[in-house]
Amino acid sequence: MTLYQKTFQEFENKYLGCATMAIIGQSCLGSVAVMYILINGTSFFQMVQLAFVVVSCMGVNGAILSQQSPKLVFNLVLNSAMVSFLMIIINTIFL
């Protein structure tokens, strides 16, 4: 079993608690990413970055609230975390 499969199986077995923590965690991480983006200004490039972060975070929240499959929610949480971390790294380097 790969790390992805083990983590997904744990997420699926404890879906209700993990989904709750995912909402809190990705919302906090997304807000940190937004803060780093807006520190660099409000140009078109920053607004595009902001849109990516907002859409990825809203996608997770929407998937959880609309009771999508655990696999979709898990993949969206991973995607949202990667987008947020990437934006934090990009905006930290170019600060």
In the chain, domain spans: 14-94
DSSP 14: T
Instruction: Tell me the CB-side half-sphere exposure of residue 70, using CA atoms within 13 A.
Output: 15
Rounded-to-integer distance, Cα 15 and Cα 2, Å: 19
pLDDT one-digit tens code per residue, 13-66: 999 999 999 999 999 999 999 999 999 989 999 999 999 999 999 999 999 999
What is the structure's pLDDT at 1? 75
Helix (H, G, I), strand (E, B) or coil at 51: helix
Instruction: Kindly report whether the global pTM for this prediction surpasses the value 0.75.
Output: yes
Burial (Cβ within 10 Å: 0-12, 13-18, ≥19) of residue 24: exposed
pLDDT higher than 80, residue 95:
no
pLDDT of residue 37: 96
Q: CA 74 to CA 4: how far, in whole Å?
A: 10
